[in-house]
Structure 1
Amino acid sequence: MYKFLQIFKRDFLNLLINPMWIFYSTVFPFLLAAIFGFLSSGNYGKEITSYDYYGISIIIYMALNTSTLAANSFMEEKIKKGNMRIIYSPLPKSNIYISKILATALFSCICHFLVIALLNLTLNVNFGGENIIYILLILGVFEGFVSILGVLFCIIFKSENTANQVLSIVINIFGILGGLFFRLDGFGERMEKLSYISPVKWLITNIFKVIYDRDFSYYMPTLYILILLSIIALLLCRIFYKEEDYIC
């Protein structure tokens, strides 16, 4: 366990000392929520303001983008030498990808939770008040799922660039179907039903239900589905992972 913690510490510090990743995970989502909220301020009601809607949706969108961060932290060029040392050491080879997943999920959670606090303090975005712990919990589980997904894509495609290209397409499709940028309600019942193939739709629907309706009826099923998908993705990582493919 001690050796694994050392690997995890190194992976987490690699993320922490990268100024671009810090900017992308903190300043960028705050500015995006503030700009979208300001531009659409007349299009929403009093109970749910444009800042509320985009504050929540942008956080979910950035959480979804954690998958690309996980891919970068797994196969970025400067990381490969460290991976090689681990592979040739008497340690479980799964330590490489499990450490990257946990480090990325923790880093993203810390950054995004700080943005949530900042949005609440400066733009008065409603994140549930006393129920915020439920929002943070489901977001944390979602961050873990997409971190595993990012590493899984790297393992399957054996290339950071290819993995990121495919992930970008998947992220944007899920984001659009989930209604992160604009609501799909006005496009008809068929489009509304189609949107539920996106896990983002489940997430944003549940978060708004918890915050504004105090409705937890779909909260636990969504949480369990995300955990189940995470376990399946982690098992797929183990099945397809061949350490020699990721050090060349």
Structure 2
Amino acid sequence: MYQLFRIIQRDTINLFTNPMWAVFSLLFPFLLVATLGFLTEGLYSSQFTSYDYYGVTLMLFSVMYTATFSANSFMEEKIKNANLRIVYSPIQDWFIPFSKIIAAFIFTTFFYTVSAVICHLLFQIRFGSENSLEIWLLCVGMNFVFSCIGVLMCCIFKSEGVANQIISNLTVALAVLSGFLFPVASFGAAFVKISKWLPTTKVLQTIFEMIYDQNMLNFLPVLSMLFVIAILILGVSLFLFNGEEYV
């Protein structure tokens, strides 16, 4: 386990010392919230502002892009070359994908949390008061799911480019169907029915219930659902990973 810890430590440091990724993960959610919150400010009330809506939905939308970070950190060519020594050393092959998932998860959790705090302070976004920790845990749970998805796409398609194309399309489709960009009811009843079955929609609904209704009934079921989904995706990723194909 010491070897695994050292690999995770090195992968995490590599992410934190990449200035482009650090700036992107910090500014991407902030700029999304600031722009759409400002453009739609007149469409919402003073009790429920555009920043309240997009502060939650666009933070979740940004969380889905964690899959891109984990995919890039897993299959970028210069990183693959650096892992040659690990693949051919007497340790478990699954250390590599598992380490990339954990490193991407730690990296994005840190910067998205900082970005959410900045948005809260600048735009007075309501992220809950007494239940803010539970809301953060749901976001973290969803972050872990998409950290696993990025590596899974790489294990399936064996290509960073193809994996990122699939991830981008999947992210946008889920964001639209889950109401992250605008209310899904505008698409009609059929899309509303589809939306209700999506895990991302359940996370969004639970967060809004916790903020505005102080309803905690769905917190543990939804958090457990995210945990189960993440473990299943992680298990499939580790099963599919082949060290020789990776290099």
TM-score in terms of structure 1 length? 0.96
| Distance apart, 1:130 and its partner CA | 2.1
Q: How does 1:6-155 map to 2 (within 5 A)?
A: 6-155=6-155
Distance 1:108 1:194 in 2: 29
- Alpha carbons 1:177, 1:196 under 8 Å: kept: no
| Distance apart, 1:37 and its partner CA | 0.3
Distance 2:141 2:187 in 1: 30
Over the matched positions of the two proteins, sequence identity in percent amounts to 38
1:56-107 CA distances to partner (integer Å, 9 max, x unpaired)?
1111011001001100000001101222111111111111011110010011
Matched AA of 1:16: F
1:119-155 CA distances to partner (integer Å, 9 max, x unpaired)?
1111111100121100111111111111011101100
1:169-226 CA distances to partner (integer Å, 9 max, x unpaired)?
1111000001111101233333211112432211111111111111122222111111
Which ranges of 4 or more aligned residues in structure 1 deviate by more than 6 Å? none
Equivalent position of 1:210 in the other structure: 210
Equivalent position of 1:190 in the other structure: 190
Equivalent position of 1:235 in the other structure: 235
Distance 1:12 1:92 in 2: 19
| Stretch of structure 1 that moved more, 194-203 or 104-113 | 194-203
| Stretch of structure 1 that moved more, 91-100 or 194-203 | 194-203
Matched AA of 1:171: T
Distance 1:226 1:212 in 2: 22
Q: CA RMSD in A?
A: 1.1
| Stretch of structure 1 that moved more, 153-162 or 3-12 | 3-12
- Alpha carbons 1:109, 1:143 under 8 Å: kept: yes
| Distance apart, 1:118 and its partner CA | 0.5
- Alpha carbons 2:97, 2:238 under 8 Å: kept: no
| Distance apart, 1:46 and its partner CA | 2.0
- Alpha carbons 2:76, 2:160 under 8 Å: kept: yes
Matched AA of 1:168: S
- Aligned residue pairs total 247
Matched AA of 2:32: L
Matched AA of 2:60: I
Q: How does 1:175-186 map to 2 (within 5 A)?
A: 175-186=175-186
- Alpha carbons 2:148, 2:230 under 8 Å: kept: yes
- Alpha carbons 1:43, 1:50 under 8 Å: kept: yes
TM-score in terms of structure 2 length? 0.97
SS at match of 2:179: coil
Show structure 2 runs of 5+ residues with no match. none
Equivalent position of 2:171 in the other structure: 171
Distance 2:8 2:96 in 1: 9
Distance 2:160 2:197 in 1: 26
| Distance apart, 1:240 and its partner CA | 1.1
Distance 1:111 1:121 in 2: 15
Matched AA of 2:13: L
| Distance apart, 1:9 and its partner CA | 1.1
Show structure 1 runs of 5+ residues with no match. none
Distance 1:108 1:50 in 2: 25
Equivalent position of 1:221 in the other structure: 221
Matched AA of 2:40: S
